[in-house]
Structure 1
């Protein structure tokens, strides 16, 4: 994923956009949800996940930002219009919704719990008294 390109984007009105970016920050990563045009950012929220959604590595001990994102981020446009809960996360799926449009992106790892899209199966092998393998 290229840091200068939005992960999700909705064109709202007159070349204004709701966008979500992911980017590296001091060996960690952040989400930015923004309402912007090509010239400036009008409003934004910067959020730090507990786990990196691409690697599963723990990067924070605070779940405050991810709980806020799970509840939904609201942003104001340049004319004062409020986009209520326009961005939210549900497990590994990040949603961006406004004006009847909806986009989503599924991460490899849940940014709050670190759980993987492909859970690792743990198989325990045991031998019986005769040395035969049991599952």
Structure 2
């Protein structure tokens, strides 16, 4: 249990997450520990998955790759663990839209495109996102 708490604190501090996110992740980790979900899974996987769920519940957008910093972990195994936690505790998470992550990708690519320009351009590029295939006229 101590391994999971220290992993949550270490990753949270590395990413600059708030104490609210880390506390919620620790509470979720304790619930998983009490329900014996750590059996057959690593404590580190449960810790990373609970940190991901806490970020999503509070509204901080992080990808699996942002949270994983160990070579033995991969996004696929963390996604399976997240799914297990969501189903075990009947959690409801908001779906994240790809457009929310564009500003972080822009900053990673060191582009000089401001977010306000992105908000203006994006709807023009993808105006048909809610139309069905039958609505298109050729």
* TM, length-normalised to structure 2: 0.27
Larger Rg: 1
Structure whose residues are more often strand by fraction: 1
* TM, length-normalised to structure 1: 0.27
